[in-house]
Structures are given as structure tokens and as C-alpha cells.
């Protein structure tokens, strides 16, 4: 109480400082570069104030500033440099500057393949993307040239024409980076071109893969040549890529055209509404007096564990989902308990914590032999006392995020009473702004949501790269331009912080979610949460060493927080948008929201919540068809989606 009163007294003290000028007021840096800032505090008469203390802060997570005001640029984006000036116990007065951080110059170019040999007369448009040495996508215009213009001509912007039989090399340039693409032009002339399939009828979101074949002058079937695909008609909300993969976001009739050599062929696709919506019912509730966080269901299904943004984990009997009840709890020294998860056999569990009063954060291990009455048995903090935000249990090891260093640590818990660290892994770009947020491990591969570093895939026992829990090995990385994706949010509200937040592998895809907070609230927002956004990126990892984005989902009313996938259904906590359920059946391509893949949703709001009538859903765990949704403001919700037509509830 005394500390609280002292803080209030400090905050109410009048400051002699009228203004704080930060110089330079703005700047632009490349990743790894530094910029020295200075601050000058003046009074109402414009005179320097004596005895001023200056503290420096950086906002946005794209850099790091030390106590002298020296900023190190870490990651692409915007850094809000803040100088807090105070005299004695007076309240601080703030001055600010903005720094734009750019990627290093282009070091490589990725070129889209042309899809086979070219026929004389074929026209295509080449495309390429430049990347920095640390895999940041760049905005450089990629220019093209041909080694043999008599065989293939190509304009600087990528427009290509196959002119004569032969071979040529296409060179792409972006700054100092170059890439080459060998092409072959065949002398074959087609008398007929055919596109397949014919007369397809599909729903919005369904992917149709078209192919083309032709007939030569002698009647011989010709295939394997490059085709220029295009789509027309319908509502215009449809696309087809260079491989012939078509998808529509709106119903209608679309004409698909294939062009190769001097021939064209058409097919018509009829697209109908997807119609996947179903109802959702609330089975039970567990309101709590603390703000709740993660939930985990014991493998046996008798009890669930609900962590809190406080000092405890609740054990909840869920044998009757319609009457869940708190039966026990585990209390520890913490201000925030995040992930809670058991071993695969359910005998033991761990939860991560931050904000301990003695600064000994890290993991707590518990005995879950009696699922509804877990008991803490061990503590691990030696190398992670700065705090653990997220953790994942897999085959006798805990893969966790270390707040202090932004690294992944691997803790051996095969003897749960004596946990020990066996490995550490981190990105190499820079320590300034490096932060690891979440981890999932499946089939010996770890999927890391690495905030500014995007999606990282590590071999921790899969065999692909010879990795193990004791020796994680990098498999691949995928970065995307967060600043570009959320430019509109930045323009309207400013980006408080944003980054790659979660990763979930299911089948051929990794679902990667962003967490985005506004720097300032909407003027019309009262007694609610901070504004949040977030896109769910669908990453195709069928070639695990070359992951690429193929689809996305971005809700209009909230951010994407944590996700869970069961079969062809994805469940997510949508923050202020509540709980949401998506159809992810079939091949995924394009905008899942506009395709009508939302199955159901519910606002998890309660008039008796910590914040009344304000939903803030954290995530979803699914067990036996039942959804367990923790809402930060209103506790645990137990829900179920209506079955598909012809299905029955378990």
C-alpha cells in the first residue's frame, strides 16, 4: 500500500519541465546500424532545466536503445524512441522521435518458375521477389533481361515472348542481387489446345487445378509446356496462378483461358456458395475472479487446467461439460502464468510463469497422477529466470521461450523432479528486438513463431537435418512484411507492437497467426480492450525446406490469438471477436474469409466479468468435440458446434 501511495504522489507532483526535445526528431536506419539520440528538457520560458534525469525507451520491438540514447536497429519496421525526463520526484515529461528501419540490401532473388518448356509464340509475365541476407522481403523492382533476344525477348518488367526454337538464360536483377532462369523454346506447333477439367462445378474456396495439353501436326499428343492462364467473368473475385490453380471468393460463372504458342482454349467453371455455417451452443461456464489465460485438457479428459494472469492455475472437473467446477488449484509466486501442458501420458505437467517477486521465473513442474488434484513438485529457473512466456511439452522435453534473450531453450524433464537444460537455439540476425513467442513440436520438427523473424522450422529429432533435442538444426525460415500487412492499422492508430505470434502444424500446412496492438485507442472505445488485429497466414510446408504462403484469414472484428486444429476444422480465440470456427477442408488458397469459410462464432462476453460485457478470447482447446475457450475477462467457456448434416454428437 505504501508503494502504491508513493507512486501516486510521484505521478501527481508538478514538473518544472514544459517540453522535451529529442534530436534527431526522425531517422532512417538499415538493420544493424546505430543512431545516437540526445534529449533537451526546457521550461515554459524555453530555458534548459537543471538536474534533469533522462531515461530512454524504444517502442515497437524493432530495435534496442541503451541508457545513453544509442539506438541499434534490429528489425524492419518503425521504432518509437521516447525520452522520459524528470526532476527529483516530479512526474516525467516525454519527448519522442520516430525511426524507420529498413532491411539490408538485396542479396538474393526468388523467381517463379515458368512451368515447362516454351512453345514459339507463347507470352508469359515473369515475376521475382528480392530478399535481404536475413530473409527480409524487400520492395525492390526486379528487372529482367535475356541472353538470347532472338530466342526469347523479355521486357524489363518481365513480359516474355518466345520467338524461335533454342535456349536462353533470363537474368533477374534487384540492386546487387541477381538470379538466372534457364528457358527452352521448342519448335513444336500446335494444331489444337485443350484445357481440363471441363464443366467443373465447385464451391467458393474450392481449388480447381487446370492442365493443358495439345496436339501436334502429326496428331501426336504434346504436354509439359508452359501455359499462360487467365480468368474472366463471374463477380471478378477469382484468380488462377501460373500453375493453373483456380479459386473463387464469390459465386458465379468464370471462364478459364489457357494460351500456349499460337493457340488458346477455354473452359467454364460454375461456382456456388460454400454454405458451411452451423450453430454454436454454450454448454457450461466457469467464471473466475482473476483474468484467465491458457487452458489445457488432461489426456484422460477428467479435468482441465486454467492458467491466470495472476498467481494460480485452476483444476476444473469437466467430466460433465455442462457443469464444470473448480476442484483445486496450484498457487505460485507469479504475476502471469501462461502455458500449461501435460506430458503425453498425463503423468506430469508444466506451466510457465513471469513476474515472480524474487525474479526467479521459469517453469513449474507438477504431478498430474491425480488429474483433478495436481501438485507442484519441482522448479526450473536457472537459465530462464527472466521469464518464460510459452512452452511446449514433447517426448520428455520442454521447448520454451526465454524472455531475456529471445532464445529457445530445451529442458530435459525425463526425470521431472530434476529438470535440466540440454540445448539453446536462437536466430542470428541481431539481439536488438529478437523475441520468440510460441513453439509447437510435431514429428520431431519444432515450429517457432519468432515475432520479427517469422516462422522458423527446426529439426529436433525428425532426422531431416540430423537434429535432436540436444542439437536443434535449422530447416527453413519464412518471413513476411509485417509493416506492409498492417500499414492501414499504422496509419489509423499507430502500431503499438506486432509480430509472428503462434504457429500450428496440421497436415501440409502451418497456420501462423500475428498479434497486433494499436499504439492508441479509438476515440469511440470506452471501457474496452485495446484495439487488436491479426492475420492468420496459411503456409504450405509440403516442401518443408521451401515454405510459402498460399492463403490467409483476417477477421474484421478482432485479432488472431491462439489456434487449434481438429481434422478439417480450425478453432481460434479471436480476442475482442470472441471464439471463432473455420472450415479448412480441401486445398487452401486465397482469402478464406471472403470465400465464406467461417462456420460459427460467439462473443464470449459476461456482464459479471473482470471487464463487464467485453469479450477477449485467448484461444481454444478441443477434446471429444467439446470446445474449451478461456476468455481473459470472463473465465472459461465450454461450447460445442452443431454437427454437420448427417453427423451425430458424441
- Same-domain pairing of 452 and 324: yes
- Same-domain pairing of 215 and 162: no
Whether 343 maps to a domain, the answer reads: yes
Helix H or strand E segment including 124: strand 123-125
- Same-domain pairing of 182 and 206: no
| Local confidence band at 13 (pLDDT 50, 70, 90 cut-offs) | low
CATH number where 61 lies: 2.60.40.1080
- Same-domain pairing of 110 and 94: no
- Same-domain pairing of 384 and 502: yes
| Local confidence band at 219 (pLDDT 50, 70, 90 cut-offs) | confident
Quote the percentage of the chain above a pLDDT of 90: 82
Whether 461 maps to a domain, the answer reads: yes
Q: What is the pLDDT of residues 539-549, one digit of tens each?
A: 999 999 999 99
Whether 650 maps to a domain, the answer reads: no
- Of 264, 231, 244, 223, nearest to 116 by C-alpha is 223
Q: What is the pLDDT of residues 589-604, one digit of tens each?
A: 999 999 999 999 999 9
Residue 6 has pLDDT above 60, yes or no: no
Q: How many helices (H) and strands (E) does the chain have?
A: 3, 58
- Same-domain pairing of 380 and 445: yes
- Same-domain pairing of 16 and 84: yes
The model's pTM: 0.93
From 243, 272, 301, give the residue that closes a domain.
272
From 67, 102, 137, give the residue that closes a domain.
102
Residue 186 has pLDDT above 50, yes or no: yes
- Same-domain pairing of 80 and 126: no
Quote the percentage of the chain above a pLDDT of 70: 96
User: Total structural domains in the chain?
Assistant: 4
Mean pLDDT (the chain, rounded): 92
| Mean per-residue pLDDT, 373-380 | 96
From 186, 219, 249, give the residue that closes a domain.
186
Q: How far is residue 565's CA from residue 158's CA, in Å, rounded to a whole number?
A: 40
| Mean per-residue pLDDT, 557-577 | 92
3-state secondary structure 56-87: EEEECCCEEECCCCEEEECCCEEEEEEEEEEC
- Same-domain pairing of 505 and 621: yes
- Same-domain pairing of 31 and 152: no
Q: What angle do CA 348, 354, 357 make, to 5 degrees?
A: 110
Helix H or strand E segment including 7: helix 2-12
Burial of 411 (0-12, 13-18, 19+ CB in 10 A): buried
Whether 648 maps to a domain, the answer reads: no
Classify strands 201-203 and 563-566 as parallel, antiparallel or unpaired.
unpaired
Q: What is the pLDDT of residues 451-494, one digit of tens each?
A: 999 999 999 999 999 999 999 999 999 999 998 898 888 888 87
CATH number where 228 lies: 2.60.40.10
Q: 53-62, 251-260, 498-507, 535-544: which has the minimum mean pLDDT?
A: 53-62
- At 429 the pLDDT is 84
Whether 34 maps to a domain, the answer reads: yes
Q: What is the pLDDT of residues 522-565, one digit of tens each?
A: 666 555 566 788 999 999 999 999 999 999 999 988 889 999 99
CATH number where 568 lies: 2.130.10.10
- At 5 the pLDDT is 32
Q: How far is residue 321's CA from residue 494's CA, in Å, rounded to a whole number?
A: 42
Structural domain harbouring 75: 2-102
Q: What is the pLDDT of residues 262-285, one digit of tens each?
A: 999 999 999 999 999 999 999 999
Q: What is the pLDDT of residues 125-176, one digit of tens each?
A: 999 999 999 999 999 999 999 999 999 999 999 999 999 999 999 999 999 9
Whether 143 maps to a domain, the answer reads: yes
Structural Rg of the chain based on CA atoms:
28
Cβ neighbours, 10 Å, residue 91: 15
- Same-domain pairing of 221 and 368: no
Whether 646 maps to a domain, the answer reads: no
- Same-domain pairing of 395 and 313: yes
- At 644 the pLDDT is 85
Whether 647 maps to a domain, the answer reads: no
Amino acid at each position: 500500500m505504501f508503494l502504491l501511495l508513493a507512486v501516486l504522489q510521484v505521478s501527481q507532483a508538478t514538473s518544472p519541465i514544459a517540453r522535451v526535445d529529442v534530436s534527431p526528431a526522425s531517422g532512417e536506419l538499415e538493420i544493424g546500424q546505430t543512431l545516437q539520440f540526445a534529449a533537451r528538457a526546457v521550461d515554459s520560458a524555453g530555458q534548459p532545466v537543471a538536474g534533469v534525469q533522462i531515461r530512454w525507451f524504444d517502442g515497437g520491438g524493432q530495435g534496442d536503445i541503451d541508457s545513453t540514447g544509442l539506438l541499434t536497429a534490429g528489425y524492419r519496421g518503425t521504432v518509437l524512441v521516447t525520452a522520459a525526463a524528470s526532476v527529483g520526484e516530479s512526474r516525467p515529461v516525454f519527448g519522442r522521435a520516430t525511426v524507420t528501419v529498413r532491411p539490408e540490401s538485396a542479396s538474393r532473388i526468388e523467381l517463379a518458375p515458368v512451368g515447362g518448356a516454351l512453345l514459339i509464340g507463347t507470352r508469359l509475365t515473369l515475376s521475382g521477389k528480392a530478399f535481404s541476407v536475413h530473409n527480409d522481403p524487400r520492395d525492390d523492382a526486379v528487372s529482367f533481361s535475356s541472353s538470347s533476344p532472338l530466342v526469347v525477348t523479355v521486357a524489363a518488367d518481365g513480359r516474355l515472348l518466345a520467338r524461335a526454337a533454342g535456349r536462353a538464360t533470363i537474368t533477374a536483377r534487384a540492386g546487387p542481387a541477381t538470379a538466372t532462369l534457364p528457358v527452352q523454346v521448342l519448335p513444336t506447333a500446335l494444331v489444337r489446345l485443350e484445357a481440363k477439367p471441363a464443366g467443373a462445378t465447385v464451391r467458393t474456396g474450392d481449388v480447381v487445378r487446370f492442365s493443358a495439353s495439345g496436339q501436334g501436326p502429326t496428331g501426336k499428343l504434346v504436354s509439359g509446356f508452359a501455359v499462360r492462364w487467365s480468368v474472366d467473368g463471374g463477380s471478378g473475385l477469382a484468380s488462377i496462378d501460373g500453375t493453373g490453380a483456380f479459386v473463387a471468393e464469390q459465386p458465379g460463372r468464370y471462364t478459364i483461358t489457357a494460351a500456349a504458342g499460337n493457340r488458346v482454349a477455354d473452359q467454364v467453371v460454375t461456382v456456388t456458395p460454400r454454405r458451411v455455417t452451423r450453430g454454436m451452443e454454450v454448454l457450461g461456464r466457469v467464471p473466475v475472479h482473476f483474468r484467465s489465460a491458457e487452458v489445457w485438457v488432461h489426456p484422460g479428459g477428467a479435468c482441465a487446467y486454467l492458467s491466470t494472469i495472476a498467481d494460480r492455475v485452476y483444476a476444473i472437473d469437466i467430466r460433465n461439460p455442462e457443469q464444470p467446477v473448480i476442484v483445486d488449484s496450484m498457487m505460485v509466486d507469479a504475476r502471469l502464468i501462461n502455458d500449461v501442458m501435460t506430458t503425453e501420458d498425463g503423468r506430469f505437467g508444466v506451466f510457465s510463469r513471469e513476474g515472480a517477486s524474487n525474479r526467479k521465473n521459469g517453469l513449474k513442474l507438477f504431478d498430474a497422477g491425480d488429474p483433478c488434484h495436481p501438485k507442484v513438485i519441482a522448479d526450473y529457473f536457472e537459465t530462464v529466470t527472466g521469464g518464460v512466456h510459452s512452452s511446449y511439452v514433447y517426448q520428455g522435453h520442454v521447448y520454451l521461450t526465454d524472455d531475456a534473450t529471445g532464445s529457445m531453450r530445451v529442458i530435459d524433464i525425463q526425470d521431472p523432479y530434476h529438470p535440466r537444460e540440454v540445448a539453446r537455439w536462437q536466430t542470428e540476425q541481431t539481439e536488438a528486438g529478437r523475441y520468440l513467442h510460441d513453439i509447437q513440436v510435431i514429428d520431431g520438427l519444432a515450429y517457432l513463431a519468432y515475432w520479427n523473424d517469422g516462422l522458423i522450422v527446426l529439426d529436433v529429432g525428425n532426422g531431416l537435418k540430423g537434429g535432436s533435442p540436444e542439437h536443434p538444426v535449422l530447416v527453413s525460415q519464412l518471413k513476411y512484411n509485417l509493416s506492409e500487412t498492417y500499414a492501414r492499422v499504422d496509419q489509423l492508430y499507430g502500431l503499438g507492437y506486432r509480430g509472428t505470434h503462434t504457429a500450428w502444424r496440421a497436415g501440409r500446412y502451418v497456420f501462423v497467426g500475428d498479434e497486433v496492438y494499436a499504439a492508441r485507442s479509438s476515440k469511440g472505445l470506452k471501457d474496452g480492450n485495446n484495439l487488436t488485429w491479426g492475420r492468420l497466414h496459411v503456409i504450405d510446408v509440403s516442401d518443408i525446406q521451401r515454405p510459402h504462403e498460399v492463403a490467409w484469414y483476417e477477421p474484421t472484428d478482432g485479432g488472431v490469438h491462439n489456434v487449434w486444429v481438429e481434422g478439417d476444422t480450425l478453432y481460434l480465440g479471436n480476442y475482442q471477436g470472441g471464439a471463432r470456427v473455420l472450415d479448412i477442408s480441401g486445398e487452401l488458397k486465397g482469402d478464406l474469409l471472403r470465400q465464406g469459410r467461417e462456420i460459427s462464432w460467439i462473443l464470449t462476453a459476461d456482464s459479471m466479468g473482470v471487464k463487464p460485457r467485453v469479450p477477449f478470447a485467448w484461444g481454444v482447446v478441443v477434446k471429444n468435440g467439446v470446445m474449451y475457450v478461456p476468455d481473459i475477462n470472463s473465465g472459461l467457456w465450454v461450447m460445442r458446434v452443431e454437427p454437420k448434416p448427417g453427423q451425430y454428437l458424441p
